[in-house]
Chain A
Amino acid sequence: MSKLYTGAEIVFKCLEDQEVEYIFGYPGGAVLPIYDELKNHSSIKHILVRHEQGAGHAAEGYARSSGKPGVVLVTSGPGATNVVTALTDAYMDSVPLVCISGQVPTHLIGTDAFQECDTTGITRPCTKHNWLVKDIKDLSKVMHEAFKVATTGRPGPVLIDIPKDIQFAKTNYAKFKREKKLNGKIHNKFSENEINQLIDLISKAKKPVVYTGGGVINSGPQASETLKEFVRLIGFPITSTLQGLGAFPGDDNQFIGMLGMHGTYEANNAMHDCDLLINIGARFDDRITGKIDEFSPKSKKVHIDIDPSSINKIIKVDLAIVGDVNEVIKSAIKKINKKQNGLKDSNKQRISKWWEQIQKWRTKDSLGFINSDKEIKPQHAVKRLYELTKNQDTFITTEVGQHQMWAAQHYKFNKPNRWMTSGGLGTMGYGLPAAVGVQIAHPDKLVIDIAGEASVLMTMQEMSTAVQYNLPIKIFILNNQYMGMVRQWQELLHEKNYSESYSEALPDFVKLAEAYGCKGIKADNPLNLDDKIQEMIDYEGPVIFDCHVDPNENCFPMIPSGKPHNQMILGPNDKEENKITGKGKSLV
């Protein structure tokens, strides 16, 4: 008879077979058998967080920067409910997470036992799928299935709820065989005809634009290479969503900046005026489209996405290609090269006028701001941070708010998986734990969380995790003492009634850093900002950088709600535009 294993042993056997190196977790009564087993599996390292939400975001940071699924281990009841925010965040941004939660023993389920909650019920709408394992014989099958569901198709979080008695129960374990066959939920069967139609549209377009999203990143680093080749081949301007940044080099001339609510003037105008829009791995989010009725009114629209339910969800498209981004563009490149037909040259001629127009829009310098030598402008701080870190492979995470948008606007990403931000759910407190996860995946790289002082306080406890594991993460706080984006909206939408958006009693971040056992640096003078940033980069350990910035700065450009792309509010630099938007502002 083959050897019998306990449920806890099977959990680790599965994790080993899935080549998991790190789990982010927090122990508790209902997962103790699994924690007890941890010591017998040296290939798996457990990272002890300070709050389960932190475990979830750290696993997200790990997953997004490494391309591997993040694994989370939490206990029942509060352990599971605390991780819900991170699961929802991962669901919105398509991040592969496998969350294992403990549950009260099966005979107590439904009795309101201590630390019991309906975990699968609570997480059903925020996971791709979840399982409650009520029979030890199902455990290994469920575990492997969970990894498959999380990582295939459009990635996302899954949860496995394991009652404590199942963790103790014994059964045998069949060796895991990695399946080559794709499961029925993956869609990668685009046709040759669709590729031909795409090329036909490309060859006819006079004002085209490529709009890429997180799908390119999720398709793997190879997809970014393929995208580069594709975009250079066809010579089209390319814009990116927040999540897609880094898939195409940010300092390339063909890149016209991020689009959407805080996107560049040239990107949004190109979206509005184009005659061909190629969406690659993005989902027409409402921060991107603005007013739906007037979204890109003159264009033929192509949508390439692995998730069939993303097609025609918000914007009707003329050509939908359901498939893996990398595969689709690869076959498009192949076809173009095969056909030749002088497409390469004639096409560039046809769109030269379009490029001239884009150059004109570019001269607006919509990301410009009025710098100061008395106060640090937040945009200036991000720009200096970029200049001082661009020569090394730097990973950036962010919290949510103005600083996030400034980071997206002013930090240029040249490689995929270097930019981790909470886009869909907009989770304040995401960046610090995410930085922990990124640093775990890339121990020798520079990892910076561009943060706001309000956001970062939501998950500040994870500094303790960073110190415990010697993770030299840098928390670069743009401190304006306000929930900046809330304040900006209140200024523009609610007659400057700054209701509850000012933080009266902020901690001394330098002392706070010291209390956690890391380094604190404070900067409030633009003249020595560079030196201080350099000091932060050079320090071999975690740093909290408290950068005091102008509290009244707003994030521009901005598309006011209910407006199409070509009616943006520009910054104070653009006085002429300001006159027009004077009226526009009251309409926001």
Chain B
Amino acid sequence: MPSPKSAYSIPTKKGKLDTHIFVVWVDNEAGVLARVVGLFSGRGYNIESLAVAEVDATKNISRITIVTTGTPQVIDQIKLQLKKLVPVHKVADFKREDKKVIFKEMALLKIVAQKKKIEKCLKECKRFNPVILDKTSKSVVVQITALRREIDKMSKKLKPFGLTSTSRTGAIAMTRGAETFK
């Protein structure tokens, strides 16, 4: 152990890290995203992905979905700190393993290759609701929706078949069933 030559304490052991998805309802006003993101960077929290858009134009409410990892204590802090922000209305937090919640990410994949290879790619994509948005004799742009790790896997898999560029959203979330989060 290095000698703690400082007036501050030595870091203690870190606990187990969990991945959580935060859904934050905020007033859609100037700087609100900077407040939320600044809270994460300023306090050293991690952002794995981020998705944000206005969901209620009359009430001016935006919905921010943030995927983050942290110890249970850090996750708790993130939630409480988010709730303190003035433009934040409510905060929901789900574990990634939570069966009651649907998580989805969307990706656009551009494949430039021979017809045969393109066919193969489309076949691979079949499980992830593929929509062909553009097609030429040498290329295809396909949209898929899936979980983060599935998209990770897909982009790895399709590389040899001519996948040239990937654009993807952050995860968004919705609870199953008739209940809504209050």
**Cβ–Cβ contact A308 & B83, under 8 A:** yes
Q: At the interface, yes or no: A185 with Cβ under 8 Å from chain B? A: yes
Contact yes or no, B73 A562, CB < 8 A: no
Residue of A nearest to B74 (CB): A313
- Bitwise interface map of A from 290 to 313 toward B, beta carbon under 8 Å scored 1, else 0: 111100000000000001110111
User: How far is B5's CA from A39's CA once the two chains are assembled, in angstroms?
Assistant: 56
Q: Are B34 and A149 in contact (CB under 8 A)?
A: no
CA distance A290 to B84 in the complex (A): 27
Interface residues on B, range: 20 to 34
Smallest CB–CB gap between A186 and chain B, Å? 11
A residues less than 8 Å from B81 (CB atoms): 309
Taking CB atoms and an 8 Å cut-off, the chain B residues in 16-40 that contact chain A are 30-31, 34-35, 38
Q: Does A501 contact B (CB under 8 A)?
A: no
Q: Which residue of A lies closest to B84 (CB)?
A: A309
Contact with B along A458-497 (1 / 0, CB 8 A): 0000000000000000000000000000000100011000
**Chain A residues within 8 Å of B3, by CB:** 587
| Cβ proximity bits A272-294 to B, threshold 8 Å, 1 near / 0 not | 00000000000000100111110
Is A309's CB under 8 angstroms from B77's CB? yes
From B9, B38, B84, contact of A185 by CB (8 A): B84
Q: Is A124's CB under 8 angstroms from B80's CB?
A: no
Q: How far is the CB of B108 from chain A (nearest CB, A)?
A: 32
**What residues of A have a CB within 8 angstroms of the CB of B10 in the complex?**
291, 561-562
Residues of B within 8 A of A128 (CB): 86
Complex CA distance for A292 and B73, rounded to whole angstroms: 14
Given A185-B84, A185-B86, A124 and B31 touching (CB < 8 A)? yes
Residue of A nearest to B10 (CB): A562
**B7: contacting residue among A134, A289, A561, CB under 8 A:** A561
Report the Cα distance A489→B86, complex, angstroms: 40
A396 CB to nearest chain B CB (Å): 25
- A561 contacts B80, CB within 8 Å? no
Cα-based distance from A308 to B80 in the complex (angstroms): 7
Task: Determine whether B56 belongs to the interface, using a CB cutoff of 8 Å to chain A.
Answer: no
Number of A-B contacts (CB under 8 A): 60
Residues of A near B77 (CB, < 8 A) are: 309, 312-313
A121 to B33, CA, bound (A): 12
Q: Is the CB of A561 within 8 A of B9?
A: yes
Q: Inside 8 A of B12's CB, which chain A residues have their CB? A: 292-293
One of B5, B8, B86 near A149 (C-beta < 8 A): B86
Q: Which residues of B contact A316 (CB under 8 A)?
A: 73
A312 touches B76 (CB 8 A): yes
Q: In the assembled complex, which residues on chain A have CB atoms less than 8 Å from the CB atom of B30?
A: 132, 134
Which single residue of chain B is at the shortest CB-CB distance from A287?
B7
Q: Does B177 contact A (CB under 8 A)?
A: no
Determine how close the nearest CB of chain B comes to the CB of A323; give it in whole angstroms: 15
Cβ distance A265 to chain B, nearest Cβ, rounded Å: 20
Residue B44, interface by CB 8 Å: no
Q: Which residues of A lie under 8 Å from residue B31 when comparing CB positions? A: 120-121, 124, 132
Q: Scoring A residues 362 to 378 as 1 if CB is less than 8 Å from chain B, else 0, what string do you get?
A: 00000000000000000
Q: Does A125 contact B (CB under 8 A)?
A: yes
Nearest to B13 among chain A residues (CB) is A293
| Interface assignment of A129: CB less than 8 Å from any CB of chain B | yes
Residue of B6, B7, B30, B80 with most chain A CB atoms under a 10 A cut-off: B7
Look across to chain B and name the residue whose beta carbon is closest to the beta carbon of A308: B80
Which residues from 98 to 152 on chain A have a C-beta closer than 8 Å to any C-beta of chain B? 120-121, 124-125, 128-129, 132, 134, 149
- Flag if A121 contacts B34 (CB, 8 Å): yes
With a 10 A CB-CB cut-off, give which of B3, B4, B38 has the most chain A CB atoms.
Answer: B4
- B83 and A562: CB pair below 8 A? no
- CB-CB under 8 A from B35, the residues of chain A are 124
Residues of A contacting B5 in the complex (Cβ-Cβ under 8 angstroms): 493-494
Alpha-carbon distance A531/B8, docked complex (angstroms):
41
Q: Which of A125, A185, A289, A562 contacts B42 (CB 8 A)?
A: A125
Most chain A CB atoms below 10 A, which of B8, B9, B42, B80: B9
Interface centre among B3, B30, B86 (most CB of A within 10 A): B86
Q: Looking at the complex, which one of A120, A121, A309 makes contact with B80 (CB distance below 8 Å)?
A: A309
**Residue of A whose beta carbon sits closest to that of B41:** A125
Encoded as 1 (CB less than 8 Å from any B CB) or 0, chain A from 230 to 245 comes to 0000000000000000
Whether B80 contacts A286 by the Cβ 8 Å rule is no
Of all chain A residues, the one with the shortest Cβ separation from B34 is A124
Residues of chain A within 8 A (CB-CB) of B38 are 124-125
Set of chain B residues within 8 Å of A293, measured between Cβ atoms: 12
Shortest CB distance A77–B (Å) = 19
- Shortest CB–CB separation between residue B16 and chain A, in angstroms? 15
**Interchain CB contact under 8 A, B83 and A561:** no
Chain A positions within 8 Å of B9 at CB level: 286, 289-292, 561-562
Return the CB mask of A557-587 against B: 1 if under 8 Å, else 0. 0000110000000000000000000000001
Residues of B within 8 A of A121 (CB): 31, 34
Residues of chain A with a CB closer than 8 A to B84's CB: 185, 307-309
A125 and B84 CA atoms in complex are apart in Å by: 13
Contact with B along A185-219 (1 / 0, CB 8 A): 10000000000000000000000000000000000
B7→A493 contact, CB < 8 A: yes
A95 to B65: give the CA distance in the assembly, Å: 33
Q: Which of A129, A185, A494, A561 contacts B4 (CB 8 A)?
A: A561
Given contacts A121-B31, A129-B86, A562-B10, 11 further A-B contacts (CB under 8 A): A125-B42, A132-B31, A185-B86, A286-B8, A291-B10, A293-B12, A308-B80, A308-B84, A494-B5, A561-B7, A587-B4
* 7 nearest CB pairs, A to B: A309-B80, A129-B86, A562-B4, A562-B10, A125-B42, A308-B80, A561-B7
Q: List 15 A-B contacts (CB under 8 A).
A: A120-B31, A124-B31, A129-B85, A185-B83, A185-B86, A291-B10, A309-B77, A312-B73, A313-B77, A316-B73, A493-B7, A561-B9, A562-B9, A562-B10, A587-B3
Instruction: Mark A residues whose CB is within 8 Å of B.
Output: 120-121, 124-125, 128-129, 132, 134, 149, 185, 286, 289-293, 307-309, 311-313, 316, 489, 493-494, 561-562, 587
